[in-house]
A and B are shown apart, each in its own frame.
Chain A
């Protein structure tokens, strides 16, 4: 089966989960996106997108018990699945192919 197509936000989400390692949960992911990608994330978009990635089989999660600062509500820890990694690789390869040969045009101005 060909790897699933990834939208830009989906790519960012998967990369954030990877960067955060095994303890990635909603709040950290939002923070990571805000810090590194410089975009504020609506929680509505965040959770529905994670659900979509889950539907596509690109992430999975497990539940761990909550702490007092979250009123003892449980926490969902995400990991990227093998299919998720494959999709990311495919996206990166696609982009690379498209970038190839355009460096002269698109390079950052140096002067």
Chain B
């Protein structure tokens, strides 16, 4: 146990060497130990160390021998500095409202930017919390369009045999496995992986062994390595856990290792950390995996060899894919490979959002800075008399400029400190509203880097924007401002500068407003997308028929038991089962072949999302039947094979024809349509019996894919979603649905229980988050800009009181004066708006990727944003203008 090192380091730097310093540190250490070495004790220690260090830093040159001339001059400037600080603090205390406005502005600007920066830092900039993360590569296979389609097992074996760029090339995928054998069944988050993943990650189990090549062999005994968290939470941190078995999806897995504390595998699909790793053995020999044409959701994680660049490795994988394409044209046509850094892959979907937010918050920070500069200039202008007195009494220009700089730095740092508090609060809100499963969100915290950012932001505000008024003030002549009347030249100059800053501020605010407007339009479009289903009053949940008990006919029987009970629930109007849900996306994409048509070349074979559904599914989801019939009770395992297609598929394959009665087959032309051997894969020809309207399938923004619905009775999937339509609140059904399933089999946990409306909400969570943040930023920006505008116009009115008085004395009407002032204020806003529109168009391509249903240069949005800005600006100008009309000519003239 040692007290906080930075504090001790500071003491050693500042205190005199030898016994004089050591004894002080010793006293503090003892005090720290006396206070129990707790966090509070550490805080006390740091506080006292800082107090001691400050005192000694100040006293140092006094303790030492008579000061040299140089030391005396340093001390003098240091004393000057302290005097400036004291003076500044007193000055701020004397005008509390000014101080509060400036501090609030700075706290908002610095706080918001520090919070967003922390997110960017944690998610995009910080290296992955894994050993030497820079050498970790993610690789996947891509189809002709460049979409990731996951790596087929035989292709992976060939990659591994031929690639020379990697120390280890591992294949793995996320699997949700059901753990049974305890008092209740439980879904676990597992990573099915080849043995060399641990070599690639350079992590080994803390207890037991890693997987070995033998664990990858077909039919090798199933092995599992649990994470530290799982070991502690579920296995009581039992040190003798090795050799125990877990029953996962009906198979026995032997625990061979426990991962070290603090290790976390990257989360690709699970919102929470993995529970365990499972070996390839149990699946390695299955026909599903050994078929080169099957892409089963695996992706590769590899460790680059020393000295091999990512580009070289990616190129090598592409070359191997090209070779495989020629060797296996049947399965590998148009299939390529793509590699990127693992860190980049993990955050690829959130990156554009974060960068847009960073840009937005940068705008906000600038606006805050400009606003503060404006306020400081205004204050400088009103203090010109004071400053002139000081100059006349012998205060050097440099000294006065220096003092103004100290003032602005002091308030910036105070604003920065408040900003950190705002950031800490805001960051908690941001992390809470971030969509579920946002990559690396758990790496986000307000750390030292973020503090440095806040400090840099405050310093920038203080120095750059404080320098403007300081520079201005240094031009003050000794006498002319003392002549009570007009420091006319100075006033004009400062007013010009303020108007210029105001234009910049309005332009920036307009850019932010545009972003917010576009996000609002996007969200509005998203929530009004016709999904093709009626999402209200629908409860969905998912179950997996794990293990050997449920094969083929047993599954059909289970579904046959389940459905009538669900439909008999009070308040339920219908219920059904489906392999994949709309919005949620596909679990089974496949090439298919159409009968009675010329077979296109292999790369052009159509692909569809295949979705086994029970009878009643289309009715339950509220999907419209376009043509033919829906599935009904006549679909049984033994009835003729049928299929219902969506409109997109019907139009793509049979444009202008009646699709009913046409035939298609999942798989390649040569895939057998009947079993050639027991257990061998086959896909029967199916007759189209109906066409249903398109539904949004992968989120609400993606185009609807070709879709083929198969009767669940003929294609009994192991994992199915339950959908229940009810007249009641759908969440109220959860206990009864759970009870029904438990009654049938207590080893079947239900997962992902949500209403369909929640599914929809989740799919637009990221857009909603962006919108909320943009709108909040825009409101703050607009407020700051209008306060700034108000300040400038009001200041102008004060300066022109005399002129206005003269005009009114000469017979100008109130509305003329009003018009005059408002016009002058609005002219700034209009120039700012024009520049802002140009700016918004210039940055539009950065934001386009985040939008849906609206272009980044949407004229309607721009127009309404400009109108909003000008309306607010008009109000901000009107108040001081109205005050100007109240000027009493006699008073104004007497002021002369």
Contacts and interface: CB of A to CB of B under 8 A. Distances in A.
B50 to A, nearest CB: 8
Contact of A69 (B19, B30, B56, B63): B30
Given A42-B51, A44-B51, A27 B27 contact: yes
A76 B52 contact: no
Contacts of B51: 42-45
B24 A26 contact: yes
Contacts of B56: 44, 47-48
A74 interface: yes
A27 B30 contact: yes
Contacts of B33: 69-70
B30 A76 contact: no
Contacts of B55: 44-45, 47-48
A73 B63 contact: no
Interface residues of B, number: 25
Contacts of A73: 22-23, 25-26, 29
Contacts of A70: 26-27, 29-30, 33
A48 B59 contact: yes
A43 B63 contact: no
B28 interface: yes
Contacts of B28: 43
A39 to B, nearest CB: 15
Interface in A13-69: 25-27, 30, 42-45, 47-48, 51, 63, 66, 69
Interface in B50-101: 51-56, 59, 63
B23 A44 contact: no
Interface in A59-107: 63, 66, 69-71, 73-76
A63 B27 contact: no
Interface string B5-24: 00000000000000110111
A76 to B, nearest CB: 4
A51 B59 contact: yes
B48 interface: yes
B31 interface: yes
Nearest to A71: B29
Given A44-B54, A48-B59, A51-B59, A63 B23 contact: yes
Contacts of A63: 19, 23
Nearest to A68: B33
A47 B52 contact: yes
Interface string B615-655: 00000000000000000000000000000000000000000
Contact of B26 (A30, A42, A51, A71): A71
Contacts of A45: 51, 55
A74 B24 CA distance: 9
Contact of A74 (B23, B52, B59, B63): B23
Contact of A43 (B34, B48, B59): B48
A71 B11 CA distance: 15
A59 to B, nearest CB: 13
Nearest to B23: A76
Contacts of B59: 48, 51
Contacts of B54: 44
A8 B693 CA distance: 90
B19 A25 contact: no
A70 B59 CA distance: 25
Contacts of A44: 48, 51-56
Contacts of B26: 66, 70-71, 73-75
B522 to A, nearest CB: 56
Question: Which of B22, B26, B52 has the most chain A CB atoms closer than 10 A to its own CB?
Answer: B26
A77 to B, nearest CB: 9
Nearest to B55: A44
Contacts of A74: 19, 22-23, 26
A51 B24 contact: no
A27 B31 CA distance: 7
A51 B60 CA distance: 11
Contacts of A71: 2, 26, 29
B88 to A, nearest CB: 22
Nearest to A52: B59
B63 A26 contact: no
A23 B313 CA distance: 72
Nearest to B27: A26
Question: Which of B24, B27, B30, B54 has the most chain A CB atoms closer than 10 A to its own CB?
Answer: B27
B48 A42 contact: yes
A75 B28 CA distance: 11
A75 B29 contact: no
A68 to B, nearest CB: 10
Contacts of B19: 63, 74, 76
Contacts of A75: 23, 26-27
A48 B58 CA distance: 10
A47 B26 CA distance: 13
A47 B24 contact: yes
A25 B26 CA distance: 11
A72 to B, nearest CB: 8
Contacts of A42: 48, 51
A43 B27 contact: yes
Contacts of B63: 51
B44 to A, nearest CB: 10
Nearest to B3: A71
A43 B31 CA distance: 11
Contacts of A47: 24, 52, 55-56
Nearest to A77: B23
Interface in B340-358: none
Interface in B25-45: 25-31, 33-34
B67 to A, nearest CB: 15
Question: Which of B30, B49, B53 has the most chain A CB atoms closer than 10 A to its own CB?
Answer: B30
B201 to A, nearest CB: 39
A42 B53 CA distance: 11
A21 to B, nearest CB: 18
B82 to A, nearest CB: 15
A63 B23 CA distance: 8
Contacts of A27: 27, 30-31, 34
Contacts of A30: 27, 31
A30 B63 CA distance: 22
A30 B28 CA distance: 11
Given A27-B30, A51-B59, A43 B52 contact: yes
Nearest to B1: A71
A48 B63 CA distance: 10
Question: Which of B22, B23, B49 has the most chain A CB atoms closer than 10 A to its own CB?
Answer: B23
A63 B26 CA distance: 12
A29 to B, nearest CB: 9
Contacts of B24: 26, 43, 47
A25 B27 contact: yes
Contact of A26 (B2, B23, B53): B23
A75 B53 CA distance: 19
Nearest to B2: A71
A27 B26 CA distance: 9
A107 to B, nearest CB: 38
A74 B49 CA distance: 17
A6 B24 CA distance: 23
A19 to B, nearest CB: 18
Given A25-B23, A43-B48, 14 more contacts: A25-B27, A26-B24, A27-B27, A42-B51, A43-B24, A44-B54, A44-B55, A47-B24, A48-B56, A51-B63, A70-B27, A71-B2, A75-B23, A76-B19
29 contacts: A26-B24, A26-B27, A27-B27, A27-B30, A27-B34, A30-B31, A43-B24, A43-B27, A43-B48, A43-B51, A43-B52, A44-B48, A44-B51, A44-B54, A44-B56, A47-B52, A47-B56, A48-B56, A48-B59, A51-B59, A63-B23, A66-B26, A69-B33, A71-B2, A71-B26, A71-B29, A73-B25, A75-B27, A76-B19
Interface of A: 25-27, 30, 42-45, 47-48, 51, 63, 66, 69-71, 73-76
Lowest 10 CB-CB distances: which A-B pairs, in order? A73-B26, A44-B51, A44-B55, A26-B27, A76-B23, A70-B26, A70-B30, A43-B48, A63-B19, A48-B55
